[in-house]
Structure 1
Amino acid sequence: MIWPRSAASRVPGHRFVSEFVGLVKSSMQEGHSETVVNYRVFVGTWNVGGEAPPDDLDLEDWLDTKAGSHDIYVLGFQEIVPLNARSVLGPKQRSAAMKWQRLIEDALNSRRSVQDGEDATRGAAMDHGQGVFRCVVSKQMVGIFVSVWARSGLRRHVRHPGVSAVGAGVLGRLGNKGAVSVRFLLHDTSFCFVCCHLASGSEDGDAQRRNADAADILSRTSFLYSGGARAPGEMPKKILDHDRVVLLGDLNYRIAMDDAEARQLVRARKWSMLLESDELLLELSAGRQFDGWREGHITFAPTYKYHRNSDQFCWCADGGAIAGRDKKRHRAPAWCDRILWRGKGMRQIRYERCGGYRLSDHRPVRAVFHAVCEVVESKHY
């Protein structure tokens, strides 16, 4: 394939998964031409329940590294530290985030560590400069952590990375709930990824609290330059002003259904019937809080709530009455962990739950997108 000369200096070579789409015949402005390229963007979310990961935790299955077909990874975590007063009110603890960073890097770059901590082997990706993944930006707020990685050869096309954190937990500000948002410019297209942990609970009014949290996050999140200056003119300041936006995380929406009926459907694994009463899908169809957002078709089992180190739902098996603290421990299964998107130029090709990870009472979720990026070149006469 012959690349248009105007784009040759700015579009990565054949080692990337990116796919040349075409040259726009009519330029956006006089004196400019535009090409578009298509990247594969991996988005993952996992509430790890305040559990520290073991040193040998292998993330390669969740991150689908054997396929070797993704250009950018955006990974969001919730509860990487226990949500107690010490974590929320005490000094920042970076050790948990650093440990997850190391596990991510090991998985993406196919590395294994020997007991003394030195690299024992390196995968084939390490032999090619463009195949190695490098962290673009990361940010932690209490238990919420986001980490963005790109192939090293693509890294120079990722510009203006920025972060913004908004607390929505205790007193609406302390950060045990809320969102960490990251944004960047890839070529000439702006991306924003919003990692959320919304209000929990399955009582009357809890869904409205989640709606209020989401509205608050979208309203209050604002991106600034380092040092407090405003964002550059070419970059948006607010979440919804970006070209491509993805919202991921433990959104905590539950099943609005009678307990006995829900229990029967779970036993029969009739997920499609259970999803008819999913609070988030009801919000999306009504076009209220999430007007303009889209979600892929859910074909997987609920992502919450499981016994730790087990594939069994943490729910009373005999169907007896549950009250008080026991009711909180035996919450009905639900699809709490979700990935939504909005904006033209994104097409979701995978949406899955990864059942092999039993570290917490949640299961990780992943989605893969084809994302179109514009490459604008000035014409020289």
Structure 2
Amino acid sequence: MKSLNMNLMMSKELSIKKQSKFVKEQYIDDSRHRVHPIFNEVMWPTSSVANKILRKMLGSNNIVADLPNYTETICELEETSSTSSDQAPLISSKKYITDDQDKHKIFVGSWNVGGIAPPDDLNMEDWLCTHTDLADIYVLGFQEVVPLNAGNIVLGSENSKICTKWNSLIREALNNSISKHVPEDDKVGEFQKVHPLKNNRSINSLDKSSNIFPQYFDYVISKQMVGIFVTVWIRNDLLPYIQHPSVSCVGCGVMGYLGNKGSVSVRFCLRETSFCFVCSHLASGGKEGDEKNRNANATEILLRTRFSRGPLRNLPRKILNHDQVIWLGDLNYRIYLPDTTTRSLVQKKEWDILLENDQLKAELMEGHVFQGWHEGMIEFAPTYKYYQNSKVYYGCDQKRKGKKKRAPAWCDRIIWFGKGLKQKEYSRGESRLSDHRPVRAIFIAETEVLSNSRRLGSSFPGRFDCLRSHFEECFNEKLSCNDRTLSQE
């Protein structure tokens, strides 16, 4: 009997040790989560408790969530899931056999507009380069679309008016430019004309008899989190090949969770290739050591961003699981030089010397952040900080006085990760709307295409109709982030 009791006690002790090991593996002790090793309880720090309280007080749509809502296309909702998440491969693992590739031109732009509402006559052509060949996809990210005051930060409510204004300007710039690029010989008949877009014209305008699309751009995702706003525009003939659009918001500002700093990430699949675009606004500050706060923000965004698995549970959930990833925004990295030296070198246009002391490039080389990411060659002047409505850098005009001393820096950046992306241009615009200049990058993206016998539409005859219904019903509405936490996953 004593031997049996001893065996039971040893068995129980071993079981507890196994449970403890399992808990430690499941809940890694980090700055956000503390786990009791035996009782499997998460001990939340003060910032997380405050975040939970604020969520309850203000509602799920007002405080940024780590997890997105599981908004899927109508097609996805009609499918049934019979595969477990542990066994199903990601799209990036190339579940399907592909024997074709297609190339698409992607325009990516970022602009910190300093909380200034755009005027009705704002010229977008300079930034969007609509006077040259148009891209197939436009991904535009903004920071500070609303002033970062206490009310906007704490309430975090979306400003539909300001976002609608930006979208209207973008729509007008893109679609008004199409007619300029259509040769006169092609302007035959009413069908080839570009009409004003009202109520988000959809794929219904497809001429089924000729199977030709009237050319125009429409947005598929548009999302705001406090000052961060991202909007994605795609040429209409590509819309049937866009699947699984999703959004994920991460706030890492005040208390480590509010949305004055953080990211809005969007995901979609074009044919058989998954894309992820991360629009972020990282920690500010020009003091020594502030770059570590920016590194920490970037790490938090990579850790906490989560997308829907989809009904078949085979979609990439994390940023780096996608085939092609582009990160844009006000990353806020400065220059490791005294302010006076920086201003002097900027006046002489000594870009090479300045870039040798650029914080982001230094952090990349030392492996402190964004390991494996790429950035194109910078051959343009620093994008920050200017006097508003001026071409003069802040602090360089002795006649103007300002409380804050800000040396010029390349705060606004675009970097990328993954195979199949080739950058063709990296430059800046010259709009003087805010104290930042907008930046842009143009990529050629290789996308994998199913073989003719399995191409989208031939294998699923009703899929175009399904997607058309989805774009009509869903993309006019804003995608919102559900009130979910990592502990609910």
- The answer to whether the superposition gives a TM-score over 0.5 is yes
What is the CA–CA distance in structure 2 between the aligned matches of 1:125 and 1:216, rounded to whole Å?
Answer: 47
Aligned equivalent of 1:99, options 154, 165, 190:
165
Partner of 1:120: none
What is the CA–CA distance in structure 2 between the aligned matches of 1:125 and 1:273, rounded to whole Å?
Answer: 51
- 2:138 paired with 1:73: yes
SS at match of 1:295: coil
SS at match of 2:291: helix
Aligned equivalent of 1:126, options 184, 194, 198:
194
More strand by share: 1
- 1:68-89 Cα offsets, whole Å, 9 max, x none, are 3310000000000000012112
- 1:93-119 Cα offsets, whole Å, 9 max, x none, are 21111110111101110179xxxxxxx
Partner of 1:187: 271
What is the CA–CA distance in structure 2 between the aligned matches of 1:138 and 1:67, rounded to whole Å?
Answer: 25
For residue 138 of structure 2, what is the amino acid of its counterpart? Y
Partner of 2:421: 346
Partner of 2:343: 263
Aligned equivalent of 1:39, options 104, 126, 149:
104
What is the CA–CA distance in structure 1 between the aligned matches of 2:306 and 2:159, rounded to whole Å?
Answer: 24
Kept in 2: contact 1:109–1:132 (CA 8 A) = yes
Kept in 2: contact 1:33–1:379 (CA 8 A) = no
What is the CA–CA distance in structure 1 between the aligned matches of 2:355 and 2:372, rounded to whole Å?
Answer: 20
Alignment of 1:1-381 (within 5 A): 32-90=97-155, 91-110=157-176, 126=194, 129-224=213-308, 232-317=312-397, 326=403, 328=404, 330-355=405-430, 357-377=431-451, 379=453
Kept in 2: contact 1:130–1:151 (CA 8 A) = no
Kept in 1: contact 2:131–2:177 (CA 8 A) = no
Change (3 A) 1:192 1:359: same
For residue 214 of structure 1, what is the amino acid of its counterpart? A
- Structure 2 unmatched ranges of 5 or more: 1-92, 179-191, 196-211, 455-489
SS at match of 2:140: strand
Structure 1 residue 231: Cα displacement: 6.4
What is the CA–CA distance in structure 1 between the aligned matches of 2:299 and 2:225, rounded to whole Å?
Answer: 19
For residue 132 of structure 1, what is the amino acid of its counterpart? Y
If the length of structure 1 is used for normalisation, what is the TM-score?
A: 0.82
Identical columns (%) = 52
Change (3 A) 1:132 1:204: same
Structure 1 residue 268: Cα displacement: 1.3
More helix by share: 2
State the structure with more CA Rg: 2
SS at match of 1:236: coil
Structure 1 residue 215: Cα displacement: 0.2
For residue 329 of structure 2, what is the amino acid of its counterpart? G
What is the CA–CA distance in structure 1 between the aligned matches of 2:440 and 2:300, rounded to whole Å?
Answer: 25
Q: CA RMSD in A?
A: 2.5
What is the CA–CA distance in structure 1 between the aligned matches of 2:232 and 2:311, rounded to whole Å?
Answer: 20
Kept in 2: contact 1:223–1:231 (CA 8 A) = no
- 1:36-61 Cα offsets, whole Å, 9 max, x none, are 00000000000000000001112122
SS at match of 1:140: strand
What is the CA–CA distance in structure 2 between the aligned matches of 1:268 and 1:218, rounded to whole Å?
Answer: 38
What is the CA–CA distance in structure 2 between the aligned matches of 1:51 and 1:74, rounded to whole Å?
Answer: 20
Kept in 2: contact 1:31–1:379 (CA 8 A) = no
If the length of structure 2 is used for normalisation, what is the TM-score?
A: 0.65
SS at match of 1:275: helix
Structure 1 residue 67: Cα displacement: 1.8
